[in-house]
Structure 1
């Protein structure tokens, strides 16, 4: 490289850096960046001549900071002056006088970390790791270090092998998880590949050669795969772009080792991304519409659906991901997102400010605030080594002990539930309380220094949404969110299977049109929400059947609000109350099949045409419509006494598939001589069963006891009273 060529490159890089700054900040900020660069190059802070390599390193690292991470003026100025303050040629006070308090504060953190770094070369030391990641008060200190480390990786070809291995080890242990936490996925992926290249060069080279050798066949397959989807998108007028990428060598190696297979047995080594031209409130709906087209063309794997649109990751990542069975029975990963989501997925929170409005300075500061929150959290699935690390050393902590005497450190204000999750996720998820200093305490107990804590667990316990109001640590909160999110997806899958099996039993065809009708009827925008509502018993199967098959007008299914309804007749046919007793002969009445009243239920009567008085539970889903349309036919009703009469009712039961489940259920029922089993049907599919139990019971208390006993059967997930008898 000639002197002229080097000088030209430096000029080009310098102009590129200033241009990248202009995209973020004002003309005054550019002046300050130039001033910092001139100061860094001056003999005042560099008694020895600055080499061209030093200048190129400075400018290239600056471009990483602005273009790839998304920082602005303050970070560039700090980068320019870092070496001068580190060497002592420029004091922090001098910097403060020329560039302000914020720059001086960041440079102070950079200087202190550099000194620690120089004396702690063992990167797998826990103390060093935490110190390095939590020393500085301003997040920009770590981001500047991250940019410098990426530059080192990009220019490590000529380093001695031992230095390359040390750089690889350090990057893998600290900087890759750090980039992952911040959502800087492009930087994370590049670091993973470069760390592997220098840490395991032979393995890296072998996979790289195999990828290159299969490139042509891979491109041909992808074109074949996307063709029908592209055609359908185009026909429907969907504006989109298609991207595809081969997965990183590091991720492929991880799959090979995890599955213990060879390269040739890894089929999903690439991902196809459909990026939609959609903005505003239609983004989510458009993504799901695109998903339905993909799922229509290729069979999706329901276990691999990841909905990061409804509940984005804590680092801002939004995408709808699935794996489908493509041509030649090969699994293909598909990602669906909008242009906004794609940019945030590529650059993490660095892209957020573009979509928030306001000034660039304010936007960057808001982003940095979000970064601190992320660093103080434990994003679901992130590497455990970054858990519970604090950015500000002044944050208070509380120190408590396990029954074995082990010390646990948590943030001040942490609760008993936080402690349980700090022990282990499984302990936290089953926690019902604990003993603190030998006294029973609830999940809400706030820990104090010196507490000795033991956790009480139950296999019947599981997280619920209220726990988010109790947990304070990011690890506990994210594990709770993870459970709730996975449970929602599992519920939707379960609801879909339940609906399909029930339609099969009814000998009805479950079509897309039927699903659409149900969505409209129950006012659910997406089918996945409908399925979840079915699984969570918000919609009754009998009501669905009545709606689909259009039953008699006076007993058709209606949608009720979720709150319980008690009916009070507004215009009763008589002021007298109809007394219900099996021994009453002078009144013609029937128990309605839609809700199967049992002695103890609150009830009303409805005067039907030709069938006498029909008795309904007041919570019956049909009652509110009957009262609205025929208030003059509503009759007050009450039970006289229970006597020895039995009442038929139907229970729905859902759980994990078990060959002995029928035996377990019948044994529980047989132990109670007051219960008569009239019918039992079980349907199983893909490891899950749902069934119906028809029994005769004497009253609601008796029924509640039976439901409680059935719920305690191992493998049973849910037992609830059904509103109508299966026909």
Structure 2
């Protein structure tokens, strides 16, 4: 756990002494000029927040001071500390971003603005407000990664002081911390911050459970002390004999981790606490592997529990060797082996980038680069997301703690969340690869795109020109990038289809009024755009295609003259029916109450957001809705429809062994696909079978029904119309 002593020591002391104590710590790693700038930011914040108090009754400036102190313990740079001092100034006072920029420079002003919340905008719900806030922060993170570090420190201090809030608000903030901020700290490799977030959040969400586990851990710690000490001494002595200098420490599980394992693995407290965990810290990577050999000589390793995160670091830059051992009397032991720098990186993650920052940007730069890559991915998701709630949902999906590592055919390593599929792999390579993938090979064998990948597999994606994402992929992809890119593509495709359908419908409506879209002057289109508060004419076409606007009324508005008012011009509407060929896409849907097929007289009914729903002319639903003529779209079939259309038939058969197989063979023999088959027993002698089959036309259907009638056991064949 991090121990941030200054803030805890400041209670009851004047703020001047606290800023003085902070300045003393800063003097260890910042220049005197930089320390002065941080102090100046503190006094500016103190003046800006004059008269404001926290719920606890303390002056408000104690909060930004505590946030800056947390960052100082991580040796963050002076601009981050200044932003921490000023992070609530834009939000809670009358001071603007421009004023801050003039006082402290544009970099600090941008950092403060990135952390500030959107408090002056009305949102439909708190969830939407929080999502918008995070979306804004993600954009600021893309410009400067320090925004998230200031925000994490801000949230950490708020979590430490949750006690003064009402229980409901306390639980809401704790839940948000556990769902969003703890996983972000994990993603950035900030282990200590994550642990404190989780334990504070757990205590706030479930105070009684936390207290019980805390008491149980305290009791077990006393019982285990002798065993822990014996194992630690054994390891230390063996390493000393081998001439390796190392620090050996016993590790304790934190409360939230114990609780999560008890819940997810359905294990008792005693089963989880049976494990003894140690960390060995050495001075070089070579010695990490030497120590691994030593502990494997000392205790027997558990097969399948060795993981080398030094050769293949985790996505957040974490590096360490992990191994499981059988100790004395079969006691299970877990060991982590790492260097001092890896230890710092594991605890403080990306924040260690500033601690180790050098001109050459050596090892820590990789962690910083990984973090930037992740933030860049957030930015891409934000651009594709339809709204802030969808964005925050994608971010939550992306914050998976468990990873798998798979290989490209060229031997490059790709890190994916557990449960990822070949489609996730394809999108992680490139969005275009994902959009055009049609099949995959896993370890050189053809496999379904939905197959879950395992660590160590080699994955090859097969693409095809002109291929498009399948909406069904959304049922099995797990990465946020794949999900957001597929959704973005489908939305874009849906919009393009809506515009095209809307244009066709408007053309038909205008033809019924004796006009054509190309004859409408640009000025009249612009006038309609203005009247309807649309951004452009395309948006009106899209609304018509989606079924949210009536084509005929829009046509009359466009013409808005004597021609549109002549009643005799309305009659020809029926003659100008829209032609349907079955490949229109998302916005021409075929009703499941009557299953229209080519050759049936059909009619279209407008449905909000679904576009045109095609019914047969005699369908009871279409008859009922004809009382609303503005919702009716005259339709006719194209002459060259070659698609399969679903139709339902009912077959009554005499009961015979294997008769269902005979029926299926007859249907398949007529070049028809069976989509669904269900059987019901009417009597002891008759079986009724309902078939959903794909046919090309009424003639095709008649041929299939004739073939079925030729089966001796067939009693009756009818087409079902609900």
TM-superposed deviation, 1:60: 1.5
Query: Is 2:197 the partner of 1:162?
Result: no
In 2, the alpha carbon distance for the partners of 1:234 and 1:188 equals 34
Q: What is the 5 A alignment of 1:512-523?
A: none
- Describe the superposition over 1:8-31 as per-residue Cα deviations: whole angstroms up to 9, x where unpaired: 363443223223333443221112
The correspondence for 1:46, drawn from 43, 46, 50, is 50
Change (3 A) 1:299 1:74: same
Q: How does 1:308-707 map to 2 (within 5 A)?
A: 308-358=309-359, 370=369, 372-376=371-375, 388-390=377-379, 425-428=420-423, 447=432, 455-458=438-441, 460-461=445-446
Which residue is 1:28 aligned to?
A: 33
Shift of 1:291: 0.9
1:190 corresponds in structure 2 to 196
Task: Evaluate the alpha carbon distance shift between residue 368 and residue 257 of structure 1 in structure 2; reply closer, same or farther with a 3 A threshold.
Answer: closer
Segments of structure 1 that go 5 or more residues without pairing to the other structure are 378-387, 400-406, 434-442, 479-727
Match of 2:108 among 95, 100, 103: 103
Contact 1:13/1:60 (<8 A) preserved: no
Q: Distance in 2 between matches of 1:236 and 1:398?
A: 57
> In the TM superposition, what is the alpha-carbon distance from 1:363 to its structure 2 partner?
10
Cα shift readout 1:73-128 (whole Å, capped 9, x = no counterpart): 11221222233222342122211112111112222223354556998533897666
User: 2:422–2:459: 8 Å Cα contact kept in structure 1?
Assistant: no
Q: Is the 1:123–1:173 Cα contact (8 Å) retained in structure 2?
A: no
TM-score computed with the length of structure 2 as normaliser? 0.52
Residue 234 to residue 371, structure 1, CA distance change in 2 (3 Å): same
SS of corresponding position for 1:342: helix
Question: What SS does the aligned partner of 2:193 have?
Answer: helix
Deviation at 1:196, TM superposition (A): 0.9
Q: Distance in 1 between matches of 2:122 and 2:179?
A: 15
Q: Is the contact made by 2:63 and 2:157 (CA closer than 8 Å) also made in structure 1?
A: yes
Deviation at 1:223, TM superposition (A): 1.0
CA deviation vs aligned residue, 1:17-53 (integer Å, no higher than 9, x gap): 22333344322111211211121222x6636689744
Q: C-alpha separation between the residues in 2 aligned to 1:97 and 1:201?
A: 46
1:304 to 1:125, Cα distance in 2 relative to 1, 3 A? farther
Q: Which whole-Å CA distance do the structure 1 matches of 2:29 and 2:122 have between them? A: 31
2:231 aligned residue (225, 233, 247): 225
Q: Structure 1 429/85 Cα, relative in aligned 2: closer, same or farther at 3 Å?
A: closer
- Whole-Å Cα distance in 1 between the matches of residues 191 and 458 of structure 2? 30
Aligned to 2:67: 61
Q: How far did 1:7 drift? A: 5.7
Instruction: Count residues with an aligned counterpart.
Output: 427
CA displacement 1:180-208 (0-9 Å, x = unmatched): 01100011011111111111122211211
Aligned pair partner of 1:94 in 99, 102, 114: 99
What are the superposed Cα offsets for residues 547-567 of structure 1, whole Å, 9 maximum, x if unpaired?
xxxxxxxxxxxxxxxxxxxxx
Q: Is the 8 A contact 1:308 1:317 kept in 2?
A: yes
Q: Indicate if the aligned counterparts of 2:68 and 2:82 stay in contact, CA closer than 8 A.
A: no
Q: Give the aligned partner of residue 154 of structure 2.
A: 148
Contact 1:25/1:73 (<8 A) preserved: yes
State the alpha-carbon separation in 2 of the partners of residues 5 and 266 from structure 1: 38
Query: Does the alignment pair 1:292 with 2:293?
Result: yes
Q: What is the deviation of 1:156?
A: 1.8
Q: Is the 8 A contact 2:64 2:87 kept in 1?
A: no
- Whether 1:8 and 2:13 are equivalent positions in the alignment is yes
Distance 1:429 1:271, change over 3 A: same
| Structure 2 equivalent of residue 578 of structure 1 | none
What CA distance in whole angstroms lies between the structure 2 residues aligned with 1:266 and 1:423?
Answer: 23
Q: Given that residues 353 and 367 in structure 1 are in contact (C-alpha distance below 8 angstroms), is that contact kept between their aligned partners in structure 2?
A: no
Q: Is the 8 A contact 2:232 2:250 kept in 1?
A: no
Distance in structure 2 (CA, Å) of the matches to 1:456 and 1:124? 40
Contact (CA 8 Å) 1:353, 1:364: kept in 2 or not? no
Q: Paired residue for 1:492?
A: none
Helix, strand or coil at the partner of 2:88: helix
Q: Distance in 1 between matches of 2:364 and 2:422?
A: 38
Question: CA contact under 8 A between 1:192 and 1:250: conserved in structure 2?
Answer: yes
> 1:122 is paired with a residue of what secondary structure?
helix
Alpha-carbon spacing, 1:363–1:114, altered in 2? closer, same or farther (3 Å)? farther
For 1:304, the equivalent position in structure 2 comes to 305
Q: Which residues of structure 2 form unaligned runs of 5+? A: 1-8, 387-393, 399-407, 447-452, 464-476, 483-722
Within 5 A, what are the aligned runs for 1:232-251?
232-251=238-257
Q: Does the C-alpha gap of structure 1 residues 118 and 140 become closer, same or farther in structure 2, counting only changes over 3 Å?
A: farther
Deviations, residues 356-385 of structure 1 (Å, cap 9, x unaligned): 5349xx9999699536425337xxxxxxxx
Deviations 1:310-343 (A, max 9, x none): 1222322111111111123221111111212111
TM-score normalized by the length of structure 1: 0.51
Distance (Å, rounded) in 2 between the aligned partners of 1:148 and 1:444? 35
The separation in 1 between residues aligned to 2:130 and 2:110, in whole angstroms, is 27
Q: Given that residues 243 and 272 in structure 1 are in contact (C-alpha distance below 8 angstroms), is that contact kept between their aligned partners in structure 2?
A: yes
Match of 1:511 in 2: none
Q: C-alpha separation between the residues in 2 aligned to 1:146 and 1:117?
A: 25
In structure 1, what is the Cα distance between the partners aligned to 2:62 and 2:294?
49
User: 1:391 Cα shift?
Assistant: 8.0
Hey, what's the Cα distance between the residues in 1 that align with 2:169 and 2:148?
22
Describe the SS at the equivalent of 2:73: helix
Q: Per-residue deviation at 1:355?
A: 4.0
Q: Report the Cα distance in structure 1 between the residues aligned to 2:248 and 2:327, rounded to whole angstroms.
A: 16
Cα deviation for residue 422 of structure 1 reads 11
- Counterpart for residue 179 of structure 2: 173
The Cα shift of 1:264 comes to 1.3
Kindly indicate whether the alpha-carbon contact (under 8 Å) linking 2:316 and 2:367 is maintained by their aligned counterparts in 1. Answer: no
Q: What is the rounded CA distance, in whole Å, between the counterparts of 2:366 and 2:33 in structure 1?
A: 22
Q: The residue matched to 2:62 in structure 1 has which SS? A: helix
Measured in 2, the distance between the counterparts of 1:329 and 1:97 equals 66
| Cα displacement (A) at 1:165 | 1.0
